[in-house]
Structure 1
Amino acid sequence: MTSIHYLPAGTAGADGYDVAITPESAGWGYSGLHVVTLAAAEEHGFATGEDEVLVVPLSGAVSVEADGSHLDLAGRADVFAGPTDFSYLPPGTTATLVSERGGRFALCSARTDRRLPVRHGAAADVPVELRGAGGSSRQVRNFGTPEALDAGAIIACEVITPGGNWSSYPAHKHDEASETESALEEIYYFEIAAGPQGQPGLGFMRTSSSPGHPIEVTEEVHDGDVVLVPHGWHGPAVAAPGHPMYYLNVMAGPPAAGDGKRAWLITDHPDQTWVRASWADQAVDPRLTGETR
């Protein structure tokens, strides 16, 4: 059932977008996400306005014209095929997307006053991390994290969870600004692999109340669904057996105290922190590839 935090596929679109999440529509201040589907040779123009934007191919290739720059993104067949190249667009930019063969493209956004140059991010440069072990193994593609990308406010990554595994686990939060935690709004956009005869896939997503921040979300998620996490303990995200799960995370928040640099600092749920220590005695799921950390 649609709620202010759970937006099933087909309910979050507007103005020609499959997904259209803005800070205003989400009721918060910084994070946004649009997903657009383009037919072969179709063009799509947009303005970044107050936001910086990462153009991320979900399927297909695309050319990006922005501020006199021309960037060709090779993209990928689908989100399960591996990391993709992407482009960074600063606030105040007018851009046009053109996809010769068509595809689907995510526009990850964050409100910021910082203006950096238009640029291309190569797929080969995306840090790919294997996180967890055993049934908690997942692959994280850190294309838009602070260590990988210079940006104003946006933090973005992709996560692949093999069928039957748990990710976003231990449950964690980032809803308070401190030396050990960031205050970040977060968007989860899901794609779920179909079964062998095209059967629709499914998974589950949980968000629960943290101190001073009431929220209760437990949803069966499907291909194209969106979950908004303004605060609270979020996780696990669970992939049903036989249905690998992808999610795109987009995060942003107010400038950090002190040096003002963006950071992705989390606090584990105290009842689940012990899980991390259990990974030392378990192998990483062999269905995944990347660097173990």
Structure 2
Amino acid sequence: MHIAPYDNQNKAIVDVDDAHVPLTYFNIVKLKAGETFDYRLAGYETCVVPATGTVMVETGGESFDEIGNRGADVWDGEPEGVYVPTDMGCRVTALTDTETFIAGAKYAETLKPFAVRKAELDLVQYGSDDTKTHRKIKHILGAGHHDRVGRLLVSELFTVGAGGWSGFPSHKHDTDRPAGPDGEMEETRHDECYNFRFKPNYGSGLQMLQREDNKPGDAYHIMDGSTVLIDKGYHPCCVLPGYEMYYFTILGGLSQRSLKQYFQPTHAEQLYTIPGIMDMVAKFK
């Protein structure tokens, strides 16, 4: 499903128990310096990530100051964030004008809050210019925080260069499917939500969603600020030549945090043509 860019007035774009992706939550909060935003989500853990600007986050009796360092856009610096546990009140105070993402995943337990600074990001880069798959991933809540988070994975993904494909070879993660009697999973159910940005901001791209192998699917024209909900199916995306693409990624697992992607059989041989792709797979845990 594609949600076209609009002024959400600090109200959730993907609310709790969404009909398409009930395991995820997404809000964009825009504040002027000095303004505050309060929220509390029962049943969902969240992560506060400034897209631009700097904020202070207060939650669970702790205060995390000077979160975020980016200026003009998401390419202008490194991401930072604060993990906010389930059913814990949170106040976001804008220290500068800010656009802030709030990412969430359904999770029943209440853990402890913490900040993720830019030096703690889990980084991976893979693909190549030749294969038109050059991509950089900055995991905010990635493998390095596996023991401190319930079901939420939060990352920022960038195309490298001008134009190209992302999320290829095509994969899906819409079913909890054990690989054998030992309990190892061949695929895990993780609902997913994207918010896209383009550089320059009048660029655009395409999000595919093929729900069955070798059968026609859907394609969405994505623009700066588009939100896409991935409920089921294989879902590569691409950006027009001459533009760069970014997307903020939220994953919420049904039964576990570690993501197990199932690659589309028709294109599975491409796994061996794209440099570093298995490193990418290993980081989504």
Q: Identify the TM-score tier after normalising by the shorter chain.
A: 0.7 to 0.9
Aligned to 1:34: 27
RMSD: 2.1
Matched, 1:132 2:133: no
Aligned to 1:156: 154
Please give the alpha-carbon distance, in whole angstroms, between the structure 2 residues aligned to 1:18 and 1:170: 34
Task: Please say if residues 18 and 37 of structure 1, whose CA atoms lie closer than 8 Å, have aligned partners that are also in contact.
Answer: no
Matched, 1:193 2:199: yes
Deviation at 1:279? 2.7
Runs of 4+ in 1 over 4 A off after TM superposition: none
Please give the alpha-carbon distance, in whole angstroms, between the structure 2 residues aligned to 1:74 and 1:234: 30
SS of the residue corresponding to residue 254 of structure 2 reads: coil
Please give the alpha-carbon distance, in whole angstroms, between the structure 1 residues aligned to 2:21 and 2:195: 17
> Which residue of 158, 174, 180 maps to 2:186?
180
In structure 2, relative to structure 1, the CA distance for the partners of 1:217 and 1:82 (3 Å cut) is farther
Which deviations, in whole Å up to 9, do the C-alpha atoms of 1:106-157 show, x marking residues without a partner? 0000111121111111111101100222211100112212444421111121
SS of the residue corresponding to residue 124 of structure 1 reads: helix
Structure-to-structure mapping, 1:59-208, within 5 angstroms:
59-72=52-65, 73-77=67-71, 78-134=73-129, 135-149=132-146, 150-162=148-160, 163-177=162-176, 178=178, 179-194=185-200, 200-208=202-210
SS of the residue corresponding to residue 20 of structure 1 reads: coil
Matched, 1:7 2:13: no
In structure 2, relative to structure 1, the CA distance for the partners of 1:264 and 1:215 (3 Å cut) is farther
In structure 2, relative to structure 1, the CA distance for the partners of 1:111 and 1:280 (3 Å cut) is closer
Please give the alpha-carbon distance, in whole angstroms, between the structure 1 residues aligned to 2:104 and 2:246: 19
1:277 is aligned with what amino acid? Y
TM-score normalised by length of structure 2 = 0.86
Aligned residues: 263
Which deviations, in whole Å up to 9, do the C-alpha atoms of 1:246-272 show, x marking residues without a partner? 00111113224xxxxx21110111122
Aligned sequence identity (%): 22
Please give the alpha-carbon distance, in whole angstroms, between the structure 2 residues aligned to 1:280 and 1:160: 16
1:253 is aligned with what amino acid? G
Deviation at 1:227? 0.7
SS of the residue corresponding to residue 187 of structure 2 reads: coil
Task: Please say if residues 122 and 143 of structure 2, whose CA atoms lie closer than 8 Å, have aligned partners that are also in contact.
Answer: no
> Which residue of 38, 42, 47 maps to 1:54?
47
Please give the alpha-carbon distance, in whole angstroms, between the structure 2 residues aligned to 1:99 and 1:59: 11
Matched, 1:222 2:223: yes
2:172 is aligned with what amino acid? K
Query: Structure 2: where are the runs of 5+ without partners?
Result: 179-184, 277-282
1:75 is aligned with what amino acid? N
Please give the alpha-carbon distance, in whole angstroms, between the structure 1 residues aligned to 2:41 and 2:69: 21
